[in-house]
């Protein structure tokens, strides 16, 4: 073999085997003149480094995680959840709404209440699918609230094909966590971990029932931590690229140790399917919510009572700050804990209870999980100086009460949203009243989303005249009336296309 052939082998073959520094070491021998008398020695060196290269390749492949044992051990604790919701279109009202004797609606209502049950037809039940996981051998199961929302029947199916009827112990809208209970013992369970020390780049595994395909396993990494999503200000979501699709909701997100670190909850998609952006509720928040649901049936959170926004680079410069950070207070709610503690508009909260606030989205989850009734140190920047304020948090009110508190008390043409009903309403101005033919009272429906209002048949541009026999004055009055209603079915009188129409509104529990 010629020198030229040996040099060719060194230059072409060895670099393809390189995984570390072995290629650099071997390359030094190529600088030396390789003659026929060195052939055997060079050949031996080449063979040795080919073996080293192959071994390093195998080691490199061995670094990829093996999820098989994790799935075998904890897969049986992941369950499929199916729900049914009966659209009870036939409603029996207890009493005829009280109207003035000369009301033009009197005859119409009497005919409606006498014959209404024959006019309405029952619709077939609606079904939905989701996932969940068993956290205790005596039958407690965690899932998403939206999986079981407004369900009449909840069925839990295990991997061994056993089925159980589940009872809803409680659900928390703000975290989208629900706790179920089945009557069984000796069930397989997951191991709960902690989300406090997670790092971006960690491997994660999701198990669930996407599109009804049970026990589907997908893997990925943690893409980001502390994500704030619209309308979910009290959850710092874990973002992953593990494939999550409809039906995965409520299923567990595992780390490599087989511990549950999150509850798969949402995806970002323009198509309805997976697009590489999945979001999970951190397990530490889940554990707090579950404990409160189990012991109290509801979840209490801390409440400060401020409207905040991010500090941009331009705002930071205007406030004399070295860099953008903190949560800028844009409004302080009257009679709120913040108002009583002395917070002011323009204060920038940079630390709360010893936790640094870099972005405004970080503050609500920290406040929500903080203790109630005890003074908490808050560090703010006020007029260029750092000030410490002690605040005693109150309990977070309902969303409707918060909407009312931040409203303008019925003045002007502003809108309010009832998340409980799934609609937004606005006061009617004089021009609109003339257009729809309503002289006084009532509220105009601006938007209807999926929820009780849509199920009842309420539409955009309807004017809500009466709710549960109470005549509606304006948007604030409407929100107060709705907030006092219990989980029941109530009559709602709307004005649509110049004619009155009663609809049956079925209200969920608060």
Radius of gyration of the chain (CA): 31
* Among 236, 326, 230, 228, CA closest to 282: 236
Catalytic residue among 151, 172, 176, 284: 176
**For the chain, give me the number of helices (H) and strands (E)?**
15, 29
Dihedral of CA atoms 299, 301, 307, 310 in degrees, nearest 10, equals -100
Residues with Cβ < 8 Å from 27, sequence gap 6 or more? Answer: 10, 14
In degrees, rounded to 5, the angle at the alpha carbon of residue 249 between the alpha carbons of residues 243 and 255 is 60
Catalytic residue among 216, 249, 265, 418: 249
For this structure, is 160 an active site residue?
A: no
Burial of 354 (0-12, 13-18, 19+ CB in 10 A): exposed
Q: Report the largest interatomic distance among the alpha carbons of the chain, rounded to a whole angstrom.
A: 121
218 close to 236: Cβ distance less than 8 angstroms: no
H-helix segments, 319-443: 337-341, 363-368, 399-405, 430-436
Contacts 24+ apart (CB under 8 A), 376-379: 376/352, 377/351, 377/353, 378/341, 378/343, 378/349, 378/351, 378/352, 378/353, 379/349, 379/350, 379/351, 379/352
Catalytic residue among 131, 146, 223, 474: 146
Determine how β-strand 394-395 pairs with β-strand 385-392. unpaired
For this structure, is 249 an active site residue?
A: yes
For this structure, is 176 an active site residue?
A: yes
Lookup: tokens for 143: 């899932």
Give CA–CA dist 162/184, Å, rounded.
11
Cα–Cα separations (whole angstroms), residue 466 to 22, 52, 293, 432, 502 = 82, 82, 34, 18, 9
* Among 242, 135, 217, 213, CA closest to 179: 135
475 close to 425: Cβ distance less than 8 angstroms: yes
Lookup: tokens for 337: 């804990």
Active site residues: 146, 176, 249
């Amino acid at each position: 073999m010629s020198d030229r052939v040996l040099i060719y082998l060194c230059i072409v073959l060895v670099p393809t085997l390189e995984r570390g520094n072995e290629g650099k070491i071997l390359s030094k021998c190529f600088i030396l003149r390789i003659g026929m008398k060195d052939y055997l020695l060079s050949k031996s060196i080449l063979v040795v480094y080919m073996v080293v290269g192959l071994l390093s390749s195998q080691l490199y492949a061995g670094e990829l995680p093996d999820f098989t044992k994790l799935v075998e051990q904890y897969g049986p604790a992941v369950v499929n959840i199916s729900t049914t919701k009966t659209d009870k279109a036939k409603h029996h009202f207890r009493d005829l709404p009280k109207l003035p004797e000369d009301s033009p609606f009197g005859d119409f209502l009497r005919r409606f209440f006498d014959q209404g049950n024959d006019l309405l037809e029952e619709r077939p039940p609606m079904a939905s699918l989701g996932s969940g996981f068993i956290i205790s051998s005596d039958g407690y199961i965690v899932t998403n609230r939206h999986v079981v929302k407004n369900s009449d029947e909840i069925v839990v199916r295990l991997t061994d094909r056993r089925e159980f009827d589940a009872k809803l112990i409680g659900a928390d809208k703000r975290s989208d966590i629900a706790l179920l209970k089945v009557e069984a013992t000796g069930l397989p369970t997951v191991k709960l971990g902690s989300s406090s020390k997670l790092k971006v780049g960690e491997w994660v595994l999701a198990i669930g029932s996407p599109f009804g395909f049970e026990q589907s396993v997908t893997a990925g990494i943690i893409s980001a931590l502390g994500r704030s999503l619209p309308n979910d200000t009290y959850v710092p979501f874990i973002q992953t690229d593990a494939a999550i699709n409809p039906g995965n909701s409520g299923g567990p997100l595992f780390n490599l140790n087989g511990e549950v670190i999150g509850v798969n909850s949402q995806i970002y998609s323009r198509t309805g399917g997976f697009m590489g952006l999945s979001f999970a509720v951190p397990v530490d928040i889940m554990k707090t919510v579950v404990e409160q649901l189990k012991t109290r049936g509801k979840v209490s959170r801390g409440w400060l009572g401020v409207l905040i926004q991010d500090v941009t680079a331009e705002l930071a410069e205007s406030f004399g700050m070295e860099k953008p950070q903190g949560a800028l207070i844009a409004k302080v709610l009257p009679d709120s804990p913040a108002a009583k503690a002395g917070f002011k508009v323009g204060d920038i909260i940079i630390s709360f209870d010893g936790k640094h606030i870099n972005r405004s989205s970080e503050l609500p989850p920290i406040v929500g999980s903080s203790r109630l009734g005890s003074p908490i140190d808050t560090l703010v920047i006020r007029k260029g100086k750092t000030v410490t304020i002690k605040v005693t948090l109150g309990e977070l009110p309902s969303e409707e009460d918060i909407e009312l508190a931040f409203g303008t008390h019925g003045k002007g043409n502003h809108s309010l949203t009832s998340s409980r009903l799934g609609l937004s309403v606005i006061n009617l101005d004089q021009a609109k009243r003339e257009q729809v033919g309503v002289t006084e009272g009532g509220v105009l429906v601006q938007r209807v989303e999926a929820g009780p209002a849509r199920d009842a048949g309420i539409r955009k541009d309807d004017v809500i005249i009466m709710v549960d026999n109470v005549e509606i004055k304006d948007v604030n009055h409407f929100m107060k009336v709705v907030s006092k209603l219990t989980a029941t079915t109530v009559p709602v009188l709307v004005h649509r296309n110049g004619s009155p129409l009663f609809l049956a509104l079925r209200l969920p529990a608060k």
